[in-house]
Every structure is written in C-alpha cells, then in structure tokens.
Amino acid sequence: MLSLPRLRVLSELSRRGTIAATARALSYTPSAVSQQLALLEREAGVPLLERVGRGVRLTDAAAVLVEHTTAVMARLDLAESELAASQRELRGRMRVASFQSVVLSLVPGALDRMADEHPRMRVDIVQREHGQAFEGLLSHEFDLILGEEYPGQPDRLRDGIDRSDLLADPLRLALPLSGQFAGRPRRLTELAEASWVLDPDDTPTGRWGREVCRQAGFEPHVRFESPDPLLHAELVRTGHAVAFLPELISSPHLAGLTLAALPGEPHRVLYTATRAGRAAHPAVRAFRDALARALEERRPGDPAWGVRVS
C-alpha cells in the first residue's frame, strides 16, 4: 500500500519544485526527502522522478499520484471537520498565518473571544507574507490564513481553497502634522519631490503604492523601504517621509498623522482562506466569526480623516 506521508512529500515537491525547498517546508533534511521519495517509488513500482540538470522533474505517473493525493487529503480534511462538529466542546489546536496590520488591529480581539467562548481551543498565530502563507495552507502547515488583495492585483484563484472576504479597508495618504511634508495637498503631484516610505517593490503593497504615484505622473523618491506599517507610521509622524497606510491600523499607531483620502477611494480587501474541506470545521468557523465580531467593535478611530487629494 502506498504511504500517505510519502505521498505528501511527493505532493509538496510538486508545489515547491526542488528537493531543498521541499525539505525546508517539511522541516526535513534534503537526504531524508530523497529517501522518502525513493521508498515511495519502490512502493509504486514505477519511476516517479527524472533528473533534469541538478534538479528533478516529476514523471507523468507522479503527476497522477499527486492528483490523487490532493483528493485524499481533501477527504481527510472533510472527515476531521465532521468529527470535530460531532463533539460538544471545541478543543484542540489551530494554526493561523497572518500579516502585521491585521495582527495589530483584529487578531487580539478575536483571540479574546476564542479564549472566553472556547477555552480548550488553542489558536497559534504566525506572521507570514502572502505567498508563504498560501504555500503553508496548501501543505497543511496552517489551517487558516488572513490575506489581503490590493487594487489592480487580484489574487490567483486556487483550486480547493475556500475564501471569505472580511473587509474592504480604505487606503489613505499619510502625512505628518508638522515639518517639511506637513500640510494637505490638493493633488498627489504636490508630493512628487517628497521622501516616501513604501513596502518593497516585489510585494503587492509596494507595487500598488508605486503605481499610484506613477498614475499621478511621478516616480516616488523611496528613501525608506520596509514591510512594517508601524515603521511607516513612525517615519511619517517624525516628518521624515510620507506614506500610504490602511485605515484599519489601530488609532494609537496613527496618532500625530493626517490621513487623506485618495482619488477613486482605493481599498484593500481583507479575507480569510482555508482548504475547502476545512471550511466547515467548527474551529475555523468559530475563528472567522470571532474576527468578524472583533471588526464590528474595532472600527477605525478618527485621527484626521476626510481630507481629500486628487
């Protein structure tokens, strides 16, 4: 009989592409991955891998096994969800991957509700960037992820994923209250010579911010590059830069800033995603509900919104 753990190694190799990346994802050594694949090949009785330069490529037979493995894992997810739903009390452990601005704004309130209502349910939060979070979800490292989608950059649809949108979060121009960049520009082009802090340009957030400036007719002078929204807020607060910030970030972190509405009222979409077979799991449903209720109680404050630029 084919070994399910070894089939999972093959499936992970199909997603990751290399033995080394598969080993990192599964916390194995590369030699252990190679050994598991060799054993699976003997069990299957057909070649599963072929050498391509220094790497390997899955054979057609291996691709068939990966397809069946995906179906088996989905059925197991569904079985676990049904078993959990039959229990009177929610218990166990759930791993969630998120990004920083949601962890700051919504996750603490959701965790409070989970602790009050489901004290025997443990929720672990891990901070991951978007691509890593989805890979971890598909490889069963995470049960749920919190994601974001920026204007003009729709997420790729993935088979076997259940997505639930949580919030359309307005994106704002952040300006200091004093110093060189203070003031309320009527047009974004008035900030063409300003210093900017933006996310790295290989991230959805960073690409979106640069595109907004380019559509306004200028290339931003990015003096500071970081994925940390708290650093963005601090650099703006201290007068060293201007930035784009989501409205959801807790108001204490936005004290001392002016937030201005942008042309077209752009927003990011916050969502949760899980494997389709996991969507009915009571832990996933409970945490999604806790996030929604935390959002209702944690609407943004009012530091200085309502200013508009064109």
Condensed to tens digits (0 to 9), the pLDDT of residues 139-160 reads 899 999 999 999 988 877 778 8
Check residue 130 and give its pLDDT: 81
Compute the distance between CA of residue 140 and CA of residue 65 in angstroms, rounded to an integer: 18
How do the residues of the chain divide into helix, strand and coil, expressed in percent and rounded to 5? 45, 25, 30
Q: Which two tokens stand for residue 133?
A: 């979070």
Interior angle at CA 230, CA 225 and CA 231, nearest 5 = 35
Compute the distance between CA of residue 26 and CA of residue 140 in angstroms, rounded to an integer: 10
Residue type, 283: A
Check residue 303 and give its pLDDT: 39
Is 286 in contact with 121 (CB distance < 8 Å)? yes
φ and ψ of 86, to 5 deg: -80, -10
Chain centroid to CA 234: how far? 23
List of the chain residues with pLDDT < 50:
300-310
* Backbone conformation region of residue 142, classed left if phi is above 0, alpha if psi is from -120 to 50, else beta: beta
Check residue 191 and give its pLDDT: 93
Is 144 in contact with 96 (CB distance < 8 Å)? yes
Interior angle at CA 102, CA 114 and CA 212, nearest 5 = 160
Compute the distance between CA of residue 294 and CA of residue 112 in angstroms, rounded to an integer: 9
Is 104 in contact with 249 (CB distance < 8 Å)? yes
Compute the distance between CA of residue 297 and CA of residue 274 in angstroms, rounded to an integer: 24
Domains of the chain in sequence order: 4-82 (1.10.10.10), 90-168+268-297 (3.40.190.10), 170-266+303-308 (3.40.190.10)
Check residue 304 and give its pLDDT: 36
Measured from the Cβ of residue 250, the count of other Cβ atoms closer than 10 Å reads 17
Residues 6+ apart with CB under 8 A from 117: 286, 290
With CA atoms as reference, report the closest residue to 155 among 236, 272, 288, 303.
272
**pTM, rounded to two decimals:** 0.84
Residues 6+ apart with CB under 8 A from 218: 189, 192
φ and ψ of 69, to 5 deg: -60, -40
Check residue 309 and give its pLDDT: 42
